[in-house]
Amino acid sequence: MGRQPCCDKVGLKKGPWTAEEDKKLITFILTNGQCCWRAVPKLAGLLRCGKSCRLRWTNYLRPDLKRGLLSDDEEQMVIELHSQLGNRWSKIASHLPGRTDNEIKNHWNTHIKKKLRKMGIDPLTHKPLHEEPCLHSSPKVPAERVEGKNTTSTSATCSLSPSSSCSSEKTEEIQLPRMEWPESAYLYGLDDLDGWDFTSDHLLLDSFGQCQRAALDQESWKFELF
């Protein structure tokens, strides 16, 4: 029967978002919260499809996003998580507050892959690229080791740190810091927006312990709205 497209594309705008569109979307979401994405463009007065709006919001406009390159720690965590989860970018992103799946995916493809290859590590398997006997070999990540099934497993991880380029230590379970997504108001429907104080640091810093000032400065126009 064929699925209907997420939206009828007739008359819908594509391509880069303008500042005006961003403003409309931010204003709408901050006023009404994230409801049915399909309805958002219409209600917000945007000639975009709902998917596009959701993507723009989650990947770029959300106030809690960090911008800029991933830190070494974040990169390390991405590698470890990738060795466990594979290309499950959204799962990986959920361990890195302020980072989006898209951002991590891009960073993986453009930076980390190269680094690992340079180090002779296959970014897909996290095993050495060549067959030379290597202390750093890691057991292949079983396909079924996806979320909920990765509780106990042996796993070796490769590190980008200079001292330990590749660790083959058997680990009972990779111990990652419990870093859940912050319980930001927007995740719960922005019902209480009036109470938000976007101009102060407390929201961002309290939630994540991460400094968001750079982002605020970079895109100050965005936050003038708040």
Partner DNA sequence: AAACATGTCAACCGCTCCGAG
Partner DNA sequence: CCTCGGAGCGGTTGACATGTT
Give the interface with DNA as residue ranges (CB under 7 A): 1, 3-4, 6, 9, 13-17, 35-38, 48, 50-52, 54-56, 59-60, 69, 87-91, 101-103, 105-107, 109-111, 114
Distance CA 68, CA 99 (A): 10
CB of 49 to DNA, least distance (A): 7
Distance CA 168, CA 187 (A): 38
Distance CA 158, CA 137 (A): 9
CB of 134 to DNA, least distance (A): 26
- Distance between the two ends of the chain, CA-based, in angstroms? 45
Q: Which residue lies nearer to DNA by CB, 48 or 127? A: 48
CB of 192 to DNA, least distance (A): 19
CB of 200 to DNA, least distance (A): 25
Residue listed under structure tokens 């640091």: 201
Q: Which residue lies nearer to DNA by CB, 35 or 211? A: 35
Q: Which residue lies nearer to DNA by CB, 24 or 56? A: 56
Distance CA 68, CA 130 (A): 33
Q: Which residue lies nearer to DNA by CB, 3 or 130? A: 3
Torsion angles phi and psi, residue 126, rounded to 5? 65, 25
